[in-house]
C-alpha cells in the first residue's frame, strides 16, 4: 500500500521502539518522514536505514524545548509546505515505581514535562500549521496505563490518562478544521522502555508469564502498534477522531483482579 504518497509525516520519539517501527511503516507506505528524537546515537542509526533517495529528515529534538519545537515546525513548513501527519510518540517511563505515598516529586515533574506538557506543545504547534492547510491527522501515543491501574507507575499512568483526555479535547477543538486526533494505547510491547520488565522476568524465571494477562496470551511487538498508528493516520480512518484505541492483546477487556499484577 502507498497510503502516504506525497504526505509529510512528523514523528517524535522516532529512533527506537514504537517510534522506529512507525517511521519504517510510514516510509514503506510512501511518506516523507521527519524523524525526531533526543537520542542522537539512535537517531543516526535510524537515518542510516532510511532510503537515501527520499527527502527524509532525521533531527535531534527535545520536545520539552518549546522554542526548538516551534523552530522545527517552521522549518518543515518552509521546506515542505505542510505537515499532513503527526505521530506524537515521544515519552518516558520515569524512574519511580513506588506506591503513591512514597513518590518522588522530581520524578513526577520529569514525566509530566515530557509525556504531557511536551506532547501537548507539539500537538498545539503542529495543529496550527495543519489548520492553515485545512486537514491533518494526529496520533498520540498513550498507554493502557492511562486506562487501567497496574500497567505503570503513578506519574506515568497519570500523564498517559492526560494524553487520552488531550486527544479527546483536541479532537473537539480541531474537527471543524478537518484535523483528526486519535490515540493508541499500547499494552505490554517489547521495547527499550519495557526492557526492565523483560529483564526482571528472565532473571526470576517468569518469562513464560509475559503477556499472560492478555487474552491473546502474549506480549506485543512495536510493528503491531505501528500498523494501528498508520491506520489512524491514513484516509482509511477518515471518519475516526477523538478515540483512544487499545492495542493490548485484549488486556483491558478483562478484569484486573487484585493479586494479578506481574
Which DSSP helix (H) or strand (E) runs through 2?
Answer: none
- Residue 188 — φ and ψ, nearest 5°? -75, 110
Residue 258 lies in a domain: no
pLDDT in tens, 48-63: 888 866 789 899 999 9
Cell of 138: 494526529
Tell me the pLDDT band of 44, cut-offs 50, 70 and 90: very high
Sheet with 136-141: list strands edge to edge.
Answer: 57-60, 32-37, 8-12, 85-88, 136-141, 179-186, 244-247
Residue 43 lies in a domain: yes
DSSP conformational letter for 141 = E
Question: What's the structural domain count of the chain?
Answer: 1
Q: Note if 177 is an active site residue.
A: no
| More confident site: 141 or 256 | 141
DSSP conformational letter for 11 = E
Residue 115 lies in a domain: yes
Quick check: 9 and 87 in contact, CB under 8 A? yes
Which residue segment(s) compose the domain that 165 sits in? 8-249
Q: pTM for the complete prediction?
A: 0.92
pLDDT in tens, 120-137: 999 999 999 999 999 999
Tell me the pLDDT band of 262, cut-offs 50, 70 and 90: very low
Catalytic pick from 156, 177, 200, 219?
156
CATH of the domain at 51: 3.40.50.720
Average pLDDT of the segment spanning 162-175: 98
Residue 32 lies in a domain: yes
Quick check: 163 and 142 in contact, CB under 8 A? yes
- Lowest mean pLDDT, pick from 22-36, 75-89, 187-201: 187-201
Residue 113 lies in a domain: yes
Cell of 56: 527524509
How high does pLDDT run on average in the chain? 91
Residue 196 lies in a domain: yes
Cell of 174: 480541531
Residue 14 lies in a domain: yes
Tell me the pLDDT band of 5, cut-offs 50, 70 and 90: very high
Which DSSP helix (H) or strand (E) runs through 138?
Answer: strand 136-141
pLDDT value of residue 255: 61
Residue 256 lies in a domain: no
Cell of 12: 517524535
Distance CA 140, CA 163 (A): 7
Q: Is 190 helix (H, G, I), strand (E, B) or coil?
A: coil
144: burial class by Cβ within 10 Å (0-12, 13-18, 19+)?
buried
Measured CA distances, 174 to 106, 122, 236 (Å): 33, 14, 19
pLDDT value of residue 8: 97
Amino acid at each position: 500500500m502507498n497510503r502516504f504518497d506525497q504526505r509529510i509525516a512528523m514523528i517524535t520519539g522516532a529512533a527506537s521502539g514504537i517510534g522506529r517501527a512507525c517511521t519504517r511503516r510510514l516510509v514503506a507506505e510512501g511518506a516523507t518522514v521527519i524523524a525526531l528524537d533526543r537520542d542522537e546515537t539512535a537517531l543516526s542509526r535510524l537515518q542510516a536505514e532510511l532510503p537515501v533517495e527520499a527527502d527524509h529528515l532525521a533531527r535531534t529534538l527535545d520536545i520539552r524545548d518549546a522554542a526548538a519545537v516551534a523552530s522545527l515546525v517552521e522549518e518543515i513548513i518552509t521546506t515542505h509546505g505542510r505537515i499532513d501527519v503527526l505521530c506524537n510518540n515521544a515519552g518516558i517511563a520515569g524512574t519511580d515505581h513506588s506506591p503513591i505515598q512514597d513518590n518522588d516529586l522530581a520524578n513526577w515533574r520529569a514525566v509530566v514535562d515530557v509525556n504531557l506538557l511536551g506532547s501537548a506543545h507539539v500537538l498545539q504547534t503542529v495543529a496550527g500549521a495543519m489548520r492553515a492547510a485545512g486537514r491533518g491527522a494526529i496520533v498520540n501515543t498513550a498507554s493502557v496505563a492511562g486506562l487501567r491501574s497496574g500497567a505503570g507507575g503513578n506519574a506515568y499512568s497519570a500523564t498517559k490518562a492526560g494524553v487520552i483526555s488531550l486527544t479527546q479535547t483536541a479532537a473537539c477543538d480541531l474537527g471543524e478544521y478537518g484535523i483528526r486526533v486519535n490515540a493508541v494505547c499500547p499494552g505490554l510491547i517489547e521495547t527499550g522502555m519495557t526492557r526492565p520488565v523483560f529483564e526482571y522476568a528472565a532473571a526470576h524465571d517468569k518469562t513464560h508469564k509475559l503477556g499472560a494477562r492478555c487474552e491473546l496470551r502474549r506480549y506485543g511487538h512495536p510493528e503491531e502498534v505501528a500498523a494501528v498508528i498508520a491506520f489512524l493516520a491514513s484516509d482509511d480512518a477518515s471518519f475516526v477522531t477523538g478515540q483512544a484505541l487499545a492495542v493490548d492483546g485484549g488486556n483491558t477487556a478483562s478484569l484486573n483482579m487484585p493479586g494479578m499484577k506481574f
